[in-house]
Amino acid sequence: MAIREILEVPDPRLKTVSVPVEPDEFNDELKKLVEDMFETMYDAPGIGLAAIQVGVPKRVLVIDLQPEDPDADPVECDHDHGDGAHTHPATKNDPRVFINPVIIEPAEELSTYQEGCLSVPDIFADVDRPATCKVKYQDLDGNHHEENLEGLLATCLQHEMDHLEGILFIDHLSRLKRGMALKKLKKLRQAA
């Protein structure tokens, strides 16, 4: 696994529309990309990452709403590595992979979350999105799934899916608010 560089605005690659993962691309290279994306996301730290954010224009997302808890008590391992019982640090991780996701039933009811983005560091703003949605997607083995999502998971998925279309969360803001956010980001970079 490797931590990859996260593209930040105004990198023009973030405006790229990502292409689908083809049937013959469900392979070790895709698994390596997903592993690297999780490692990069956890290192940042963040709760979601689209492949285009690490410079790969493929329709691949990773999401984990529950970051690892380093202070958790160890738990006994429930799978055998051939070395008998042992413990691992307990985590609350729920890593999710969505390949070629498509929203088929967005709710009319909206919910508002304060969103941030690893590609727009240190900037946060309220964004309205459908409160629930049904999504069709593939897993790492190419199997097809359909799932109803709600709450933060629905919001995060929609945020990450925007990246696949070359859209950033700040593109949902009014022109004035977007301009203010970009000015603030510029000031933060100059101060660093």
Tell me the pairing of strands 48-50 and 60-63.
Answer: antiparallel
Residue 96: Cβ within 10 Å count: 19
List Cα–Cα distances, 129 to 10, 59, 92, 123, 173, in angstroms.
Answer: 24, 20, 26, 18, 12
Known catalytic membership, residue 25: no
Q: What is the DSSP string of 16-68?
A: PPPBPPPGGG-SHHHHHHHHHHHHHHHHTT-SEEEGGGGT--BSEEEE-SS--
Catalytic one of 5, 150, 160, 165? 160
Annotate 172-181 with b (16+ C-beta within 10 A) or e (fewer): bbeeeebeeb
Closest alpha carbon to 102 in 64, 131, 140, 144: 144
- The residues annotated as belonging to the active site are 160
